[in-house]
Structure 1
Amino acid sequence: MEAETVSGIKSENTRNTFHTFGASEGLLCLNSEQTRTQCEDYKVMFTCTGQFCSECRTRWFDHDDPTGNGDYEVLSDLLSIYPREICPRPIAIEVQTISGEPSSNTSDTFLNYDVTFGFACINEKQKSKQCEDYQVVLTCPSDFCQGCRTRWFDLDNPTGKGDYETLLQLQMLYPSQVCTQPVAIEAMTLSGVPAHKTGDVFQVYDATHGFACVNDEQPGGKRCQDYKVRFTCPLTFCTA
Structure 2
Amino acid sequence: MFTCTEQFCSECRTRWFSHDDPTGNGDYEVLSDLLNIYPREICPQPIAIEVQTISGEPASNTSDTFLNYDATYGFACVNADQRGKSCEDYKVRFTCPKEFCQVSEQCRTQWLNSDDPSEEGDVESILQLMKTFPGQVCKNPIGIEAMTTRGISAHYTGDTYLSYDVAFGFACINEKQKSKQCEDYQVILTCPSDFCQGCRTRWFDEDDPTDKGDYETLLQLQMLYPTEVCTQPVAIEAMTLSGVPAHRTGDVFQVYDATQGFACVNTGGKRCQDYKVRFTCPLTFCTG
| Alignment TM-score, normalising by the size of structure 2 | 0.37
Contact in 2 for aligned 1:158/1:223 (Cα 8 Å): yes
Question: 1:120-146 CA deviation, whole Å, 9 max, x = no partner?
Answer: 999999999999999999676999657
Q: Which moved more, 1:183-192 or 1:95-104?
A: 95-104
Q: Percent identity, aligned pairs only?
A: 92
SS at the partner of 1:221?
coil
In the other structure, the counterpart of 2:18 is: 62
Query: What CA distance in whole angstroms lies between the structure 1 residues aligned with 2:55 and 2:173?
Result: 19
Deviation at 1:221, TM superposition (A): 2.4
How big is the shift at 1:113? Answer: 17
**Maintained 8 Å contact 2:52/2:59:** yes
Tell me how many residue pairs correspond in the alignment.
192
The 2-side partners of 1:131 and 1:99 are apart by: 43
Aligned-partner Cα distance in 1 for 2:22–2:174: 7
Q: How far is the alpha carbon of 1:116 from its aligned partner?
A: 2.4
Q: Aligned-pair distance for 1:184?
A: 0.3
Q: Residue 147 of structure 1: CA displacement?
A: 3.2
- Structure 1 residues 116 and 148, CA gap change in structure 2 (3 angstroms): same
Asked if the contact 2:14–2:42 (Cα under 8 Å) also holds between the matched residues in 1, the reply is yes
- Please give the per-residue CA displacement for 1:25-68, whole angstroms capped at 9, x wherever unaligned: xxxxxxxxxxxxxxxxxxxx999999999999999999999999
User: Structure 1 residue 155: deviation in Å?
Assistant: 0.3
Mark the runs of 5 or more structure 2 residues left unpaired by the alignment.
71-165
**Structure 1 unpaired stretches of 5+:** 1-44
Deviation at 1:231, TM superposition (A): 0.2
Residues 58 and 211 of structure 1: is their aligned pair in 2 closer, same or farther, counting only changes over 3 Å? farther
The alignment status of 1:161 with 2:209, answered yes or no, reads: no
Q: CA contact under 8 A between 1:183 and 1:232: conserved in structure 2?
A: yes
Select 2:242's aligned residue among 188, 191, 212.
191
Checking the alignment, whether the CA contact within 8 Å between 1:150 and 1:233 is kept in structure 2 is yes
Q: Distance in 1 between matches of 2:183 and 2:61?
A: 11
In the alignment, what sits opposite 1:86? Answer: 42
* 4+ residue runs over 6 A deviation: 45-114, 119-139
Q: Structure 2 vs 1, CA of residues 201 and 141 (structure 1 numbering), >3 Å: closer, same or farther?
A: closer
Distance of 1:89 and 1:98 partners within structure 2: 24
Q: 1:50 to 1:223 in 2, by over 3 A?
A: closer
RMSD after superposition:
10.9
Shift of residue 180 of structure 1? 0.3
